[in-house]
Amino acid sequence: MKACIKCGIYFLLLSLLLPAAAPAQTHIFLPANLTRVRALALAGAVTSLEDNLSSISYNPANFTLYQEPKRFRFTLFLSPLMPGIIANNPEAFLGEPAQGNDGLVASILSLFKGIDFTLSSLEIGFQFGEPRILDLATYRDKNFLHADDLYKNHYESVVVRLRLAEQVSVGSSIHLMYFDTDSVGRRWKLATSYGVAMQPHRNVRFGVSVFTFPNEIRNYRMLLEQVFDEAINLGISYQTPWDTKIALDVRNVSVGQKGPREQYFMGIEQEFFKQIALRGGIQYHTEDGSFTFSTGAGLFNLNILHGRGGKFRTSNYAINYALVFKKYGNEKYFVHALNFMVRI
């Protein structure tokens, strides 16, 4: 019986990935230091899933690191590819000619992706240089590994997550959102997010999150992610005994002002030998009845390098890849995202 159910999950995961095999007109590549690659591969159905830096962008209550309680622990997240990418083309990163040592300083700082302070049941984290996903047409002709326009279009975050009990966590984040305007150039605004996560059963999790954006950037994270201002995001997930996670999200519930309708997301993640993860997902957009499909993988779980005291509560894959199949009008896009991140 267990084998039949597991085969059924594999078949369902494969069926979600088949649309991505269709011919596409345009392949585009997102900036290389995106922490949200796993979330993109799961179609964004992550409101109830625990994670490290990626969870800051969806539900801060899910931001978690270590299996074992820590009285104090300092953790540093690094993006080893970024210094070389920026040093190779600093003008593309800055969106303008580099002055003096700007390119060198930017390439050095880009190595540091995040910092976390674990204080018993409290997590305080910082995330740097998280890319904004721009209009897909702007990524035409970009290299597979690039950081183009990242200086003017990214956000920094600080997150605080408190575990109230083994089954309940709350979290809050402040996001410094940078964006580019034709008239003024680089500007910034502050956004906030709040979340609650509950685990009534060891295999079942619920999540709720809300984001607030200034009116000027209400659509800052709508493309591919469907995160809107003052909308409630709901999620539920189930982990089977054979390392399969199934997650469902309802995005943009009860929008206070005129905004997008509810969106329905589903994601599946299957792990093999705790070192390989295959992912797939689907989004249903109620406003036009369209679908967005995604797939992806995670490789080399860094937990294998650590003893019990240094292992994360969740799998910690060094390499993550996502492929999103999106159609706009008559144009089909393959959206590629790759991330390589380590922690010390």
Strands (DSSP E) contained in 142-184 are: 154-165, 168-181
CA–CA separation, 157 and 179 (whole Å): 15
Close Cβ partners of 50 (under 8 Å, ≥ 6 residues apart) = 62, 64, 197, 205, 313, 314
For residue 70, the model assigns a pLDDT of 72
Q: Can you say whether the dihedral through the CA atoms of 136, 137, 143, 149 is positive or negative?
A: negative
**Predicted pLDDT at 283:** 95
Enumerate residues 6+ apart whose C-beta is below 8 A from 88.
Answer: none
Are 85 and 32 a contacting pair, CB within 8 Å? yes
- The two structure tokens encoding residue 6: 């597991």
**Residue 183's pLDDT is what?**
67
pLDDT of residue 6: 53
Per-residue pLDDT of the chain (344 residues; tens, 9 = 90+): 454 455 545 545 555 555 545 555 788 999 998 999 999 999 999 999 999 999 999 999 999 998 887 788 999 999 999 999 999 989 989 888 878 788 889 999 999 999 999 988 899 999 999 999 988 878 887 888 999 989 999 999 999 999 998 889 999 999 999 998 876 778 999 999 999 999 999 899 999 999 999 988 888 888 888 888 888 999 999 999 888 999 999 998 875 556 677 899 999 999 998 899 999 999 998 888 889 999 999 999 999 998 878 888 899 999 999 999 988 777 888 999 999 999 98
- What local confidence, expressed as pLDDT, does residue 1 receive? 46
What's the predicted TM-score (pTM) here?
Answer: 0.91
Q: Where are the domains of the chain?
A: 2-343
**Which pLDDT belongs to residue 21?**
52
- Give CA–CA dist 9/146, Å, rounded: 35
Scan for tokens 């994670």, then name that residue: 51
**What pLDDT score was predicted for residue 14?**
54
Question: Tokens at residue 217, please?
Answer: 């950037």
- The values of phi and psi at residue 6, to 5°, are -65, -40
Calpha distance 298→318 (Å, rounded)? 8
Q: What kind of architecture, by CATH, is found in domain 2-343?
A: Beta Barrel (2.40)
Rounded CA-CA distance 27/42 in Å is: 19
Give the pLDDT confidence score for residue 17 in this predicted structure.
53
Distance of CA 120 to the CA centre of its chain: 25
